Homo-oligomer: A and B are copies of this chain.
Amino acid sequence: MPYDPSAFPPFAVTVDLVVLTVRRHSLCALAVRRGEPPFQGRWALPGGFVREGEDLSQAAARELAEETGLCVHDPAAPTQDNGAHLEQLATYGDPGRDPRMRVVSVAHLALAPDLPAPRAGGDASNARWAAVGELLEQSGYGHAGQPAAPLAFDHAQILADGVERARSKIEYSSLATAFCPSEFTVGELRRVYEAVWSVALDPRNFHRKVTGTPGFLVPTGGTTTRQGGRPAQLFRAGGATLLNPPMLRPEV
């Protein structure tokens, strides 16, 4: 059954971004307010059309830069400041997910350190960091919630998938450091795990674990007291990407 090259339906292809960060001990995602129908006035994930001649990851990096000013952390460049982690998440192509036309969206997951207030093309009122719990509560992916409107399109599903990916991936990779500034303490890293997993971790066992995992952390020699209490050693992310042994998420 050879195909007819002229007989394929045309699709629009977009990238949508799940941009996660940790703010005030809770996991937050970037949301933008839609300016036109459909779902006008509702919150949605940032995203846009893939352009001609543009790769999917290029399109995602461009959208990320437009929305946050972040540039993507190149895995080849080891010590690059203010770089975000970006990876493909999944692709959503339900017919009818966009009422206007057939749109296939390649969702990407970005992890960023705590940032200043977001900007959406210069308009701050149209972009915000929102706790993922609040964004998902009213969509059937969380617990009871306040009456805020759910996310547009199937973005609640995409966000839930992105959060789940982040939750599982910090177990066996050093990705949690993507939520931290270039230099950070063990306690700050622990608060990342606690926020993403919504659990409390024993500071002593956590310290032993991360400092004992080869390649995870390298001390910079400096110390800081920005968290209060006794000064803590500063570290930066080591070269290891896969953690062995992995961090273990406590059972619920």
Which A residues lie at the B interface, using CB under 8 A?
Answer: 1-3, 5, 7-13, 35-36, 48-56, 88, 90-95, 100-102, 104, 106, 121, 244, 251
Q: In the assembly, how many copies of this chain are there?
A: 2
Cα distance, A95 to B57, chains bound together (Å): 11
Cα distance, A121 to B2, chains bound together (Å): 10
Task: Determine whether the beta carbon of B3 is less than 8 Å from that of A49.
Answer: yes
Task: Determine whether the beta carbon of A2 is less than 8 Å from that of B36.
Answer: yes
Task: Determine whether the beta carbon of A93 is less than 8 Å from that of B52.
Answer: no
Query: Which partner residue on chain B sits nearest A245 by CB separation?
Result: B248
15 contacts between A and B (CB under 8 A): A2-B35, A2-B36, A7-B49, A8-B12, A9-B50, A9-B52, A11-B11, A11-B50, A11-B104, A50-B93, A52-B95, A54-B95, A88-B90, A91-B106, A93-B106
The 10 A-B residue pairs whose C-beta atoms are closest, nearest first, are A10-B10, A56-B93, A9-B52, A91-B91, A8-B49, A11-B13, A8-B12, A53-B95, A11-B11, A91-B106
Known A1-B121, A48-B3, A91-B88: A13·B104 in contact at CB below 8 Å: yes
Cα distance, A91 to B60, chains bound together (Å): 13
Cα distance, A12 to B12, chains bound together (Å): 9
Q: Which of A10, A48, A91, A106 is the most central at the interface, judged by chain B CB atoms within 10 Å of its CB?
A: A91
Query: Which partner residue on chain B sits nearest A97 by CB separation?
Result: B55
In the bound complex, residues from chain B placing their C-beta under 8 Å from that of A8 are 12, 49
Contacts A56-B94, A104-B106, A244-B251 known; list 12 others, CB within 8 Å. A1-B121, A5-B101, A7-B49, A8-B12, A9-B49, A10-B10, A11-B12, A11-B104, A13-B104, A52-B102, A54-B95, A56-B93
Q: Which of A35, A49, A88 is the most central at the interface, judged by chain B CB atoms within 10 Å of its CB?
A: A49
Cα distance, A100 to B6, chains bound together (Å): 11
In the bound complex, residues from chain B placing their C-beta under 8 Å from that of A52 are 9, 95, 102
